A and B are shown apart, each in its own frame.
Chain A
Amino acid sequence: MAPSGVSRGRLTALIVAPRLAFRGVRLSEARFASLLILPAFLGIVVVVVFPLVYSLWMSFADVNLLRATGPAIEVLGVRIPLFRFIGVQNYVRIFSDPLYWDSFWRTAYFAAAFVAETTLVGLAMALVLHERFAGRPLMRSLLLIPWALSRVVVGLLWQGILDVEFGAFNGFLYNVGAIDSYVSFFKNGFSALNVLVSVYMWNQGPFATLLFLAGMQSIPLELYMAAEADGAGYWQRFRYITLPALRGILFLVLVVSTVNGFLMLDLIYVLTMGGPGNDTTTISWLGFQTAFQFFKFGPGTAVLYTLTVLCLILTVVYHKLVFRKLETEA
């Protein structure tokens, strides 16, 4: 609140005026604010906007990094080739490739399975860790370990656990009598794809748990107490208090896990390299291969931009689905 006798505008002027008058240059408040955010804005332009726009351009161009002799722009002394514009040829080419569509449906399956697993397991773990029990702080800390591991390490770890020759998981199943001989989890393409989903969920689930847990801790206890007083059981409290209160978090988890599911690459690199056959080739792996193994950066970026568009569409769909009821209620 402004001190008595000083208007709001005058107060602002008192705070800002010494800076506005810096070195005799007088700036309006809005311009001064713009000046302050300019460094951050420039940083974002350089590391986010420019790569996005440039890679989008590449998806419409004939790109050869070693023969960058076409037109170019120069930014801060760095020559940036523009390559030859070829319209939508790269997109036409990838959409007419059956491998792209096979990979597309495989990616859709992968992302759907991953989102479902991550959301359910993340929520279940959060519900457990929200309860009071001995060792809860330790469990909450341990939970973060899989998420904190580099994905290459995660891949190598699970490669060892699931190995058909000496894998610990096979050893465990064999010793408890669940199997007669060691199982090959990567023999069949569908099984290999599901292994990838589960390993990725093991890695990313804790983050979802963390988000759900944070959401649960912000729900006022009085609501639960009142519900209990009204005779609501555990599932009713979960259905009518916890779940609606977690709607915003659920949206975040769905969006993050969908984007992660679509973009997952490193585990494929470490565990299967898209095999056996093409049975674990997803769009992200196909895009990576096209760009970095075949050096076809035009079609490669085109493949990956289809993923970006897909992620954007799904984000809008999630937003509509998750918040529809809330908006109706409002």
Chain B
Amino acid sequence: MERLTRRTLLRNAAVFGASTMLADGFLDAARADKPIKFVGWVFKPDTVKDYVNYYNQKFGGQVQYEPIPWAQYHPTIETRTFGGEVFDVMYSAHNYRERWYENGLLRVLDDLPGIDELKKKMTPQNLESLKNKDGKLAALPYFTSLFILIYNEPMLRQAGIKEPAKTWDELVEHCMKLKRDKVSDTPYLPNWNVSPSGTMPQFMTDCFSEGASVFDASNRVIVDQEAGAARAMERWQKVWKAELVNPEVLTKTSSTDTHRLFWTGRYAYHTNHSYYLKTIAGEPENSKLAPKKAKMTMYPGTGHTYMWTDSYTINAKTKNLEDAWKLIRFLGGNLTGDWYVQRQWCLISGLDNPYPEMYNHPEIIASYDRWVDLKLLRKQYEKGKVIAAYKEPWYGEYDVKAVPIVHNIIRGTSTVSQGLKELVRLQRSLV
């Protein structure tokens, strides 16, 4: 064995150093892309990290992913942008996108190669909701969702109810019976939580299901002129007064917290975002209604429910447009040819996407079969209704300030007519 001298140590160190530098140089040469900053709100960050790693390995990318807590995601992006930071690719909730676009934070995607192909593959409503007010496309889809009606099959059976409700009257009748028979204290669990994903989307959903419009073609609130909106609110007052609803749903701070109540099996009917059925009916470790004891049925009334699309966007100030476009196609398009990221979200979380051809994939069909009737869900999507009002600058404030007004209608502290007029007044005051 060679004796370790000062000279051999120095020589070996020099050789090691040189080889490291060379290797690094080779690696650099292998990396085609420049660094890309990618930010998103926290939802399964490990899943995101996994596919970012997959992307970096497969495409020689240098994507740096940073998750930011959901509650402060949009203000954080704005304040850090104010501080001069540039995030190349960003998540954006639908109701913030227009503001970002109008203030020069986002760039349009219409001029980028391959966009027309993707547009053709998307359902028209979703494509429309990804466009800005000026009709230009500023985003690719992260996921789309809509409100569905979920029911607790064992509870209905226990009460001798053979079929889930097909109309609102039937639903109220079922709930009255379940309460009367002491099967459930509060059989109905609407998503009336206080967050922007709760009360107001639920309000729009129930208005749509009653055949009412919430906004006119100029995006002005018109619920005071819609008989369907009044019917929906009268029903909400009725179920509240009859104590068919858990009163604490009004102070739940998220749709996630609300849907977890349904895990207990103590409720008969629940309305919430479609993907929550995956945890309710597909996660026996969490939910008493899994596997598949909770089911979906078509939404009562007209069947129309509120649908929205959240998205990935590109920063207008990105210096790596080519690489940012490549990444966003991987995330919200089909760069790999197998819908890699879109498929992951379907499989892992039941987050849907606006590309119908994905739902012919055997892996997706098998996965959905474990928690939902996929054909019925797709049928419900055909009834999904999008709005354009969220593209207005006043929408965010209206959406938050409208919640207490609707809560007051529900609790009977204002009449239906007064409350609906107040919603209209609120919107007009913000324009």
Q: Who on chain B is nearest to A290 by CB?
A: B397
Q: Is B411 an interface residue (CB 8 A)?
A: yes
0/1 interface trace, chain A 71-88, chain B, CB 8 Å (1 if under): 000000011000000000
Q: Is B360 an interface residue (CB 8 A)?
A: no
Minimum Cβ distance to chain A for residue B81 (Å): 7
Chain A residues whose CB sits within 8 angstroms of the CB of B397 once the complex forms? 293-294, 296
Chain A residues whose CB sits within 8 angstroms of the CB of B264 once the complex forms? 165-166
Q: Who on chain B is nearest to A188 by CB?
A: B247
Could you say which of A66, A181, A271 has the most chain B C-beta atoms within 10 Å of its C-beta? A66
Q: Which of A78, A192, A294 contacts B396 (CB 8 A)?
A: A294
> Does B78 lie within 8 Å of A165, measured CB to CB?
no
Minimum Cβ distance to chain B for residue A157 (Å): 15
> Does B248 lie within 8 Å of A277, measured CB to CB?
no
> Does A275 lie within 8 Å of B82, measured CB to CB?
no
Within 8 A of B (CB), among A20-77: 64-68
Q: Who on chain B is nearest to A294 by CB?
A: B397
Minimum Cβ distance to chain A for residue B275 (Å): 22
Q: Which of A79, A181, A184, A292 contacts B247 (CB 8 A)?
A: A184
Q: Who on chain A is nearest to B429 by CB?
A: A97
Q: Is B403 an interface residue (CB 8 A)?
A: yes
Within 8 A of A (CB), among B167-198: 185, 194-195
Chain A residues whose CB sits within 8 angstroms of the CB of B194 once the complex forms? 272-276
Minimum Cβ distance to chain B for residue A131 (Å): 40
Q: Is B385 an interface residue (CB 8 A)?
A: no
Chain B residues whose CB sits within 8 angstroms of the CB of A275 once the complex forms? 194, 250-251, 403-404, 407
Q: Is A186 an interface residue (CB 8 A)?
A: yes
Q: Is B418 an interface residue (CB 8 A)?
A: no
Interface stretch, picked from B49-57, B100-108, B124-132, is B100-108
Q: Is B261 an interface residue (CB 8 A)?
A: yes
Minimum Cβ distance to chain B for residue A91 (Å): 18
Q: Who on chain A is nearest to B199 by CB?
A: A275
User: How long is the Cα–Cα vector from A3 to B6 in the complex, in angstroms?
Assistant: 61
Q: Is A270 an interface residue (CB 8 A)?
A: yes
Q: Is A289 an interface residue (CB 8 A)?
A: yes
Within 8 A of A (CB), among B388-415: 396-397, 400, 403-404, 407-408, 411, 413
Q: Is B218 an interface residue (CB 8 A)?
A: no
> Does A294 lie within 8 Å of B400, measured CB to CB?
yes
User: How long is the Cα–Cα vector from A79 to B194 in the complex, in angstroms?
Assistant: 38
Chain B residues whose CB sits within 8 angstroms of the CB of A293 once the complex forms? 75, 396-397, 400
Known interface pairs A275-B407, A295-B99; A65-B78 also in contact (CB < 8 Å):
yes
Minimum Cβ distance to chain B for residue A184 (Å): 5
Chain B residues whose CB sits within 8 angstroms of the CB of A181 once the complex forms? 185
Could you say which of A79, A164, A276, A278 has the most chain B C-beta atoms within 10 Å of its C-beta? A276
Chain B residues whose CB sits within 8 angstroms of the CB of A163 once the complex forms? 248
Chain B residues whose CB sits within 8 angstroms of the CB of A270 once the complex forms? 253
User: How long is the Cα–Cα vector from A289 to B34 in the complex, in angstroms?
Assistant: 38
Known interface pairs A66-B82, A273-B251; A165-B104 also in contact (CB < 8 Å):
no
Q: Is A10 an interface residue (CB 8 A)?
A: no
> Does A273 lie within 8 Å of B253, measured CB to CB?
yes
> Does A165 lie within 8 Å of B261, measured CB to CB?
yes
> Does A277 lie within 8 Å of B82, measured CB to CB?
no
Chain A residues whose CB sits within 8 angstroms of the CB of B400 once the complex forms? 289, 293-294
Q: Is B246 an interface residue (CB 8 A)?
A: yes
Chain A residues whose CB sits within 8 angstroms of the CB of B81 once the complex forms? 65-66
User: How long is the Cα–Cα vector from A270 to B404 in the complex, in angstroms?
Assistant: 17
Minimum Cβ distance to chain B for residue A194 (Å): 14
Q: Is A320 an interface residue (CB 8 A)?
A: no
Could you say which of A163, A270, A293 has the most chain B C-beta atoms within 10 Å of its C-beta? A293
User: How long is the Cα–Cα vector from A219 to B238 in the complex, in angstroms?
Assistant: 63
> Does A65 lie within 8 Å of B253, measured CB to CB?
no
User: How long is the Cα–Cα vector from A277 to B400 in the complex, in angstroms?
Assistant: 11
Chain B residues whose CB sits within 8 angstroms of the CB of A165 once the complex forms? 246, 248, 261, 264, 266
Chain A residues whose CB sits within 8 angstroms of the CB of B248 once the complex forms? 163-165, 184, 186-187
Q: Is B12 an interface residue (CB 8 A)?
A: no
> Does A164 lie within 8 Å of B404, measured CB to CB?
no
Q: Who on chain A is nearest to B82 by CB?
A: A65
Chain A residues whose CB sits within 8 angstroms of the CB of B195 once the complex forms? 273
> Does B251 lie within 8 Å of A292, measured CB to CB?
no
Q: Is B79 an interface residue (CB 8 A)?
A: yes
Q: Is B5 an interface residue (CB 8 A)?
A: no
Chain A residues whose CB sits within 8 angstroms of the CB of B158 once the complex forms? none
0/1 interface trace, chain A 268-302, chain B, CB 8 Å (1 if under): 01111111111001000000010011111000000
Q: Which of B104, B247, B396, B408 contacts A164 (CB 8 A)?
A: B247
> Does B103 lie within 8 Å of A66, measured CB to CB?
yes
User: How long is the Cα–Cα vector from A164 to B100 in the complex, in angstroms?
Assistant: 40
Minimum Cβ distance to chain B for residue A58 (Å): 12
Q: Who on chain B is nearest to A181 by CB?
A: B185
User: How long is the Cα–Cα vector from A187 to B103 in the complex, in angstroms?
Assistant: 41
Q: Which 10 A-B pairs have the closest CB atoms?
A: A66-B103, A187-B247, A276-B250, A65-B82, A275-B194, A186-B251, A278-B404, A277-B404, A273-B194, A294-B397
Q: List 30 A-B contacts (CB under 8 A).
A: A65-B78, A65-B79, A65-B81, A66-B78, A66-B100, A66-B104, A67-B103, A79-B84, A164-B247, A165-B264, A184-B248, A186-B248, A186-B251, A269-B71, A271-B253, A272-B251, A275-B194, A275-B250, A275-B403, A276-B194, A276-B250, A277-B407, A277-B411, A277-B413, A278-B404, A293-B75, A293-B396, A293-B400, A294-B397, A295-B78
> What 19 new A-B contacts, CB under 8 Å, besides A181-B185, A186-B247, A295-B99?
A66-B103, A164-B248, A165-B266, A184-B246, A187-B247, A270-B253, A271-B251, A274-B404, A276-B194, A276-B404, A277-B250, A281-B404, A289-B400, A294-B396, A294-B397, A294-B400, A295-B75, A295-B396, A296-B397
